[in-house]
Amino acid sequence: MRHTCSLSIAALSLLLPAAGKLDAARRPRYGGTLRVDIRAAVQSLDPGDWPSDTLDASAKQKLTTQVFETLVRLDERGNLKPLLAVSWTHEPARKRWIFTLRRNVLLHNGEPWNPPGGVVTVPDDRPLEDILRNLARPRNAVVVRSSDVLLGTGPFHIARFEPGKMLTLEANEQYWGGRPFLDSVQIHMGQTLRDQGLRFDLGKTDVAQIPMPEAQRLRQRGAKVAVSAPAEILALQVTNGAIPDAVRERLALAVDRSAIHQVLLRRQGEVSGALLPQWLSGYAFLFPGSYQAGRLSSQAILKFSYDRDDPLVRAIGERIALNAAEAGIMLRAGSPPDVRLLRLCVTLPDPALAIDDLSAQLEPAGAGAGKGYEKEKTLLDAHRVIPLFHLPLAYRLNERVHNWLGARWVPANQWDFANVWVEESR
C-alpha cells in the first residue's frame, strides 16, 4: 500500500510540470503574427467605397472593422451597444440627435480624436432605432482622411496595403480598449480554396477556409477546425427579367435540395427556401425548400454560370443542371447568364439590416418593398432569387492559433483579431 502510494505521488510529480506547461501554453500571450488567407481581392479599405460583389463586401467588412469603428455596434444577438459614442439624446423637435463621444480616444497617428464639443450631431428625424442600426453599419465607420492616409480608432492600423493582394495590420499600442494580443496580422488575398489548402500544408498560412463538407473529415484526422453558425447562403439568381414566371417557378421546384444536401454537402448546413437563416430571422421555416417532380409543357434553354474554380459549387451546379433538365429546362454555360449560382453572405446580426443588404446585392434597382419578413417575401415570391442552402463557414487552423471563433460575433461572419492570440512557434 505504502509503495503504491509513493508511486502515485511520483507519477503525479511528473505530471504536474507537464500540466503546468500546458496551462501556460493556453494562457493568452502578447506577440506574434497571424497569417490569414482569403478568397476575395479587396481593392479599397475606405468604408465610404463599398463593393457590390457579395464576396468582396463580406471580406471588406471583416477587415475594415479591425481598423475603423462606428459610433454604436451590434452585439452577437443584434442588440445595440455603445462603441465610440457612450450616450445619445435629441433636440426637443427630434430633428437632430446628439451623440456624446468616448473620451481619450486616439487616432492611429497618435493624435486625439476630438470632434468639437466632444459630440457628433446627426440630423435625422427617423425613429431612433433605425438611426442607430444604420450607424452600426461598418460602411458608416469613423474615418479621418489625412494626406491620402485613412486614419481610424480601431485595435489595428494599416501598415501595408497592396490592393487585391496583401494587407498587413499592426497592433494599435494606444487603443482605448486595450492593446490587442497580436503584434500583426498578414492577410493574403485572392487565394482560391485549393490554393489556401496547399499554402496551409506548406506552413505558409495559419488560417485557411475549407469547404464545409471537408470539416468533418479533417476533424476525424485530428486537425484543428473552427465552424461558425450558418452564415452563407447558396442560391440561384435569375438575372434575365424576360424569363417567364412559369419557368422561374418550375426551376425553383426542380432542384432536389435534399439529395444535394445528403450527397454533396454530406448533411452539413441546412436545406432552406429562405434567404436569412433560422437563427437570425426566426421565420425561415415559413419558406420551405420544396421539391416537386414535373416538366414544363415546352423546353426552355437558359444560360447558366457558377464559380468553376470552387469544387463544391461546381459539383452542386452540375447537379442542379441535371435536375433542371428533368424538368425541361436546359441550363448551359453562357454569358451573360440568365441564371447564376452564387454565394451570399450574412454580414450583420440584425434581420432587417441583413435582408436590406442582400436585397441591395440582388436587386440593385431597389426592388423589394417593406421590412424584414415582408421584404424577404417580396424578393422570393417572384422566384428571381431561389435560396437553396444555409452553410456554416469552416476554417482550418494552425495549432498555435487560439480564440479564432471567440470573437464578439461568431454566428454571422465577423472576425475579431483583437482577441486572437498565438503561441510561440515550436
Q: What is the pLDDT of residues 56-105, one digit of tens each?
A: 888 999 999 999 999 999 887 788 899 999 999 888 777 889 999 999 99
Give the integer Cα–Cα distance in Å for 104 and 114. 9
pLDDT bucket at 406, cuts 50 / 70 / 90: low
Give the integer Cα–Cα distance in Å for 291 and 288. 9
Res 17: pLDDT:
47
Give the integer Cα–Cα distance in Å for 218 and 411. 21
Q: Describe the crossing of helices 373-381 and 351-362 by its angle, rounded to 10 degrees.
A: 30
Res 287: pLDDT:
93
Give the integer Cα–Cα distance in Å for 228 and 182. 22
pLDDT bucket at 241, cuts 50 / 70 / 90: confident
Give the integer Cα–Cα distance in Å for 158 and 116. 26
Amino acid at 355: I
Tell me the average pLDDT of the chain: 87
Q: Hey, which bits of 124-173 come out as E strands? A: 144-146, 149-151, 156-162, 166-171
Residue 355 has pLDDT above 50, yes or no: yes
CATH superfamily of 229-392: Dipeptide-binding Protein; Domain 3 (3.10.105.10)
pLDDT tens by residue, 219-233: 889 999 998 888 899
* Residue 188 CB neighbours (<10 A): 18
Give how far Cα 303 sits from Cα of 234, 240, 300, 307, Å: 18, 10, 10, 14
Sign of the C-alpha dihedral, residues 144, 147, 150, 154?
Answer: negative
* Residue 211 grid coordinates: 469547404
pLDDT bucket at 19, cuts 50 / 70 / 90: very low
* Residue 294 grid coordinates: 414535373
Q: What angle do CA 308, 241, 360 make, to 5 degrees?
A: 70
Residue 14 has pLDDT above 50, yes or no: no
Q: How many helices (H) and strands (E) does the chain have?
A: 11, 20
Range(s) for CATH 3.40.190.10 in the chain? 29-67+154-206+398-426
Better pLDDT: 50 or 45: 45
Q: Which residues contact 89 (CB under 8 A, 6 or more apart)?
A: 97, 98, 100
Half-sphere exposure of 69 (CA within 13 A, CB side): 26
In CATH, what number does 68-146 get?
Answer: 3.90.76.10
Q: Which residues contact 414 (CB under 8 A, 6 or more apart)?
A: 61, 62, 65, 347, 407, 408
CB-count exposure of residue 48 (10 Å: 0-12, 13-18, 19+): exposed
CATH of 29-67+154-206+398-426, one of 3.90.280.10, 3.40.50.1820, 3.30.470.20, 3.40.190.10: 3.40.190.10
Give the integer Cα–Cα distance in Å for 255 and 270. 15
Q: Are 86 and 102 in contact (CB under 8 A)?
A: yes
pLDDT bucket at 366, cuts 50 / 70 / 90: very low
What is the model's pTM? Answer: 0.84
Closest to 216 measured CA to CA, from 260, 265, 261, 259: 265
- pLDDT over 70 for what percent of the chain? 90
pLDDT bucket at 123, cuts 50 / 70 / 90: confident
77-116 residues labelled b (16+ CB within 10 A) or e (exposed): ebebeebbbeebeeeeeeeebebebbeebbbbeeeebeee
pLDDT bucket at 425, cuts 50 / 70 / 90: low
Mean pLDDT, range 154-160, rounded to an integer? 97
Res 408: pLDDT:
41
pLDDT bucket at 212, cuts 50 / 70 / 90: confident
Mean pLDDT, range 134-153, rounded to an integer? 90
Res 56: pLDDT:
87
Amino acid at 420: V
Res 411: pLDDT:
45
Res 13: pLDDT:
42
pLDDT tens by residue, 258-300: 999 999 999 989 999 999 999 899 999 999 888 998 888 889 9
Give how far Cα 203 sits from Cα of 5, 294, 399, 409, Å: 46, 51, 11, 28
User: What would the DSSP string read from start to end of 332-384?
Assistant: EE-SS-SEEEEEEE--SS-HHHHHHHHHHHH-TT----SSTHHHHHHHHHTTS
Cell 433538365 sits at which residue? Answer: 325
Mean pLDDT, range 380-406, rounded to an integer? 91
